[in-house]
Amino acid sequence: MGGALACEAKENMSVDYFQQHRAEMLPFVPTNRRRVLEIGCSSGLFSGSLEGASETWGIEPSDAADEAAKRLTTVIRGFFDDAKEKLPKNYFDVVICNDVIEHMRDHQKFLGEIGDYIAPGGMLVGSIPNVRFYNNLFEMVLEKDWLYTDDGILDRTHVAFFTEKSLRRTLERNGLRIVRLEGINTDYLVRTTRRAKIYRGMAKLLSIASVGYFQDIRYLQFAFQAVPKHKS
C-alpha cells in the first residue's frame, strides 16, 4: 500500500495478505518492462515473478519489505511520499499499483505525481476494488448494511471507494490517459454461504436482464493501464 496510509494499517494484517501472486494482473503488465516499480509491493511475489525485468523496485511500509528485499532489486521501506525523493525520474517502464490507490489519503496527488517517474512510452498499471460489486451492493440495498472488515472491498483501511465510472474520471482528471480498463475476478464468491450463492445468481440474472447495464456488479475489481498524457 502506498501514499500516506496510516502507519499501523498493515501491522495487524495476516501473513496471507502479503502472499498474493495476483496472476490475474499479469496480462495487464506490458512486455516492455525492463525497469519496474511496484508501489505497495508486499513480499515482492508479483513484481519478482515478472520475466524480462532487469530492475525491480518496490516500496513497502510493512515488515513484508524484508521478504521483498530477497526477491527484488531495490526495496524502499516506507510509503510513496517517503520514498519518492529516492526514486529516479522518467525512469520506469512500468509502475504497478495493485490494490493500493484506495488506501491513499490523497490518491489524486499521487496520480498527479507518478507520471514524473514513468519513462517515455511507459505506463501505470493497477487494480482497484469495485464498490458496486454484487455482494457489497446487495448487502447495502437488501440488508441495509455497510460492514467494514479486515480485507475485501470494505477493508477498514480503505479511504476511497470507486466505481468503474468514477475510476475513469479520476484517472483522466489527474493527467492519465486510459489505455485499457476491464473488470476482473468475475462472480467472485466472497463467502460459501447459501445467501452469498443466491446473490451471485441474482447478479448474473440482473446483468442479463439489463442487457449488460449491470454487468459491472459482477466484477470484484477493475484492472487498468494508463499513460501520462504529457508523455503519450
Whether 143 is covered by a domain: the verdict is: no
* CATH code of 98's domain: 3.40.50.150
Backbone angles phi, psi at 20, to 5 degrees: -110, 110
For residue 200, is it within any domain? no
Cell triple for residue 59?
Answer: 516500496
Flag whether 157 is in a domain: yes
How far is residue 9 CA from its own chain's centroid?
16
Three cell numbers written together for 223: 484492472
For residue 41, being part of any structural domain is answered with: yes
Q: Is residue 112 in a domain?
A: yes
pTM beyond 0.85, yes or no: yes
* SS3 at position 88: coil
Q: Is residue 136 part of a domain?
A: no
Residue 194 lies in a domain: no
| pLDDT tens digit sequence for 1-26 | 333 333 333 433 444 444 457 899 99
In a domain, 195, yes or no: no
Note the pLDDT of residue 18: 41
What residues contact 37, with CB distance under 8 A and at least 6 apart?
A: 57, 58, 59, 87, 92, 94, 95, 96, 117
pLDDT at 12: 39
Return the C-alpha cell found at 179.
489505455
Tell whether the model's pLDDT for residue 31 goes beyond 90.
yes
Residues 6+ apart with CB under 8 A from 66: none
When divided into structural domains, the chain yields a total of 1
pLDDT tens for residues 64-115?
999 999 999 999 999 999 999 999 999 999 999 999 999 999 999 999 999 9
Task: List, in sequence order, every beta strand (DSSP E) within 41-168.
Answer: 55-60, 74-77, 92-98, 118-129
Q: Which residues contact 62 (CB under 8 A, 6 or more apart)?
A: 10, 11, 13, 18, 42
Domain range for residue 14? 7-130+148-185+220-231
Cα three-residue angle 66-35-61, rounded to 5 degrees: 30
In the block, cell 501520462 appears at: 228
Q: What is the pLDDT of residues 160-193, one digit of tens each?
A: 999 999 999 999 999 999 999 999 999 999 999 9
* Statement: residue 130 has pLDDT above 90: yes
How far apart, in whole angstroms, are the C-alpha atoms of residue 79 and residue 77? 7
pLDDT at 71: 96
